[in-house]
Amino acid sequence: MSAMSLKDYRGLCVFVEQRDGRPARVSLELLGRGHTLADKLGVDVMAIFIGENVSEIAQEIIYWGADKVIIADDPIAREYRTEVYMNIITEQVLKERPEILLIGATAIGRDLAPRIAARLDTGCTADCTELDLDTEKRLIVATKPYFGRNLMADIICPSHRPQMVTVRPGVMELKTPDRERRGELVYVDVDLREEDIKVKVLDTVRSTSEGMSLVKADKVVAVGMGVGSREGFEQVKVLAELLGAQIGATNLPVDVGWISEDYKIGQTGKTIRPKLYIGCGVSGAIQHSAGMIHSELIVAINTDPKAEIFQFADYGIIEDVNEIVPALTKQLKIEREDVDSEAAR
Residues 172-191 that bind another protein (CB under 8 A): none
Contact status: 36 vs another protein (CB under 8 A): no
DSSP classification of residue 270:
B
Piece of the chain touching another protein by CB under 8 A; list 33-41, 48-56, 60-68, 114-122 = 114-122
Piece of the chain touching another protein by CB under 8 A; list 28-36, 44-52, 177-185, 307-315 = 307-315
Piece of the chain touching another protein by CB under 8 A; list 40-48, 58-66, 91-99, 203-211 = 203-211
| Beta-sheet pairing, 68-73 with 139-145 | unpaired
Contact status: 212 vs another protein (CB under 8 A): yes
Cα–Cα distance, 147 to 141 (Å, whole number): 18
Class of residue 118 by CB neighbours under 10 A (exposed 0-12, middle 13-18, buried 19+): exposed
Question: Are 6 and 161 contacting, i.e. CB atoms less than 8 angstroms apart?
Answer: yes
Contact status: 311 vs another protein (CB under 8 A): yes
Contact status: 316 vs another protein (CB under 8 A): yes
Contact status: 281 vs another protein (CB under 8 A): no
- What's the min distance (Å) between Cβ of 328 and another protein? 4
Non-local (6+) Cβ contacts of 84 within 8 A are: 50, 76, 77, 190, 192, 197
Piece of the chain touching another protein by CB under 8 A; list 70-78, 171-179, 188-196, 317-325 = 317-325
- Cβ nearer to another protein, comparing 48 with 278: 278
The string of DSSP letters for 286-333 reads: HHHHTTTTT-SEEEEE-S-TT-GGGGT-SEEE-S-HHHHHHHHHHHHH
Class of residue 342 by CB neighbours under 10 A (exposed 0-12, middle 13-18, buried 19+): exposed
One character per residue 248-277, x = contact with another protein (rule: CB under 8 A): -------------x-----xx------xx-
- Cβ nearer to another protein, comparing 54 with 105: 105
- How many residues touch another protein under the rule CB under 8 A: the total is 89
Piece of the chain touching another protein by CB under 8 A; list 46-54, 66-74, 112-120, 221-229 = 112-120
Site residues for another protein, 52-81, by CB under 8 A, read 79
3-state secondary structure at position 345: coil
3-state secondary structure at position 25: helix
Contact status: 192 vs another protein (CB under 8 A): no
- Cβ nearer to another protein, comparing 110 with 181: 110
Contact status: 213 vs another protein (CB under 8 A): no
- What's the min distance (Å) between Cβ of 157 and another protein? 5
Contact status: 29 vs another protein (CB under 8 A): no
Piece of the chain touching another protein by CB under 8 A; list 34-42, 58-66, 137-145, 226-234 = 137-145
| Beta-sheet pairing, 139-145 with 45-51 | unpaired
Contact status: 207 vs another protein (CB under 8 A): yes
CA proximity to 225, closest of 251, 201, 196, 202: 251
Non-local (6+) Cβ contacts of 333 within 8 A are: 242
Question: Are 104 and 166 contacting, i.e. CB atoms less than 8 angstroms apart?
Answer: yes
- Cβ nearer to another protein, comparing 121 with 136: 121
